[in-house]
Amino acid sequence: MTTLKHYLQFTDLTADEYAYLFERAALIKKKFKAYEKHHPLVDRTLAMIFEKASTRTRVSFEAGMYQLGGSVVHLTTGDSQLGRAEPIEDSAKVISRMTDLVMIRTYEQSKIERFAANSRVPVINGLTNEYHPCQILADIFTFIEHRGPKDGTGNLTDCLKGKTVAWVGDGNNMANTWLQAASLLGFKVHVSTPRGYEVDEKLAAGAHGISAGSYQFFSNPMEACQGADLVTTDVWTSMGYEAENEARKKAFADWCVDTEMMAAAQPDALFMHCLPAHRGEEVEADVIDGPQSVVWDEAENRMHVQKALMEYLLLGKLA
């Protein structure tokens, strides 16, 4: 029996645990590519609860769980009692008696925390207004694949040490999670957001705190990109904020990642976007569809890292 561990924020795991997870994800991906069976979760069930839309999170968790030998139950607000005001605490008690693992995509972080506090099984954050840890897990794994040791040996997270990630855009769930990852894994984030859409440092610090030296704010997005090893952005309007769409379009007009910003970064800088993307808004087509973009690897890697995560939360470290 492993001790009950939830994955609600990026800082819920340690740097050592991440080093293990990335190694494991590489192995799991290799086996997948070789059509080799990897079934550690036979007879285990994942409940997926979606209160917001999804393509990647749904497909990666569902396909991933089947590939691990388990099965999934898919619930949404509209087709379950969650949408008819059953208390979260009651839902958590019931769902976690029948399944082995729960993934939730919802609005406030406090909702997933209440669920986890009443769950008998591990709970994974599949995106909240505040954080998106599974996405950053995939993004960092993707960085390691492109810029890490070619023979895949040693501590895979070492290649991140001293590197700079430029965040251009909204101070949202993705930005908060990048700050957590930087503090834990020893890299720096240059953040540039329009005025009024800044990162909330208290939120980014989250439950376990982050180091102030691991991030820096820039009012000019070009300056944030200067010398960066990775440039990344996200939609101007996250799910749940649609009423602000028009105001955001005006405020974010200068925060479109273009070829000029990429030219300010390192010559071999990568471009990432968690997707879905809006070409001509937060990123130019020439950048997202250009040679420095690794967005399709990033999307695929959601599945491989989450398989490693699900296995770890249920079975612990395996030899």
Write out the residues near ligand NVA by the rule CB under 6 A.
127, 172-174, 234-235, 238-239, 274
Nearest to 127 by CA among 51, 20, 31: 51
- Tell me which residues are annotated as active site: 105, 132, 135, 234, 274, 302
Q: Which helix (H) or strand (E) holds 273?
A: strand 270-273
Contact 121, 100 (CB under 8 A): yes
Give me the phi and psi of 207, to 5 degrees please: -75, -25
Q: Which residues contact 167 (CB under 8 A, 6 or more apart)?
A: 174, 175, 178, 189, 190, 191, 192, 193, 224, 232, 233
- 82 binds ligand CP, rule: CB under 6 A: no
What is the nearest approach in angstroms of ligand CP to the Cβ of residue 233? Answer: 13
**Which of 55, 81, 110, 211 is in the footprint of ligand CP by CB under 6 A?**
55
- 63 binds ligand CP, rule: CB under 6 A: no
CB nearer to ligand NVA: give 144 or 174: 174
What is the nearest approach in angstroms of ligand NVA to the Cβ of residue 235? Answer: 5
CB nearer to ligand CP: give 56 or 190: 56
Q: Which helix (H) or strand (E) holds 313?
A: helix 295-315
What is the nearest approach in angstroms of ligand CP to the Cβ of residue 3? Answer: 28
- 304 binds ligand CP, rule: CB under 6 A: no
What is the nearest approach in angstroms of ligand NVA to the Cβ of residue 234? Answer: 5
What is the nearest approach in angstroms of ligand CP to the Cβ of residue 280? Answer: 19
The end-to-end CA distance of the chain, in Å, is 16
Stretch that binds ligand CP, among 52-60, 86-94, 188-196, 225-233 (CB under 6 A): 52-60
CB nearer to ligand CP: give 109 or 135: 135
Using only C-alpha atoms, the chain has a radius of gyration, in whole angstroms, of 19
**DSSP assignment, residue 166?**
E
Residues 221-280 that bind ligand CP (CB under 6 A): 274-275
CA distance 105 to 239: 11
Could you list the residues that contact ligand CP (CB under 6 A)?
A: 54-57, 127, 135, 274-275
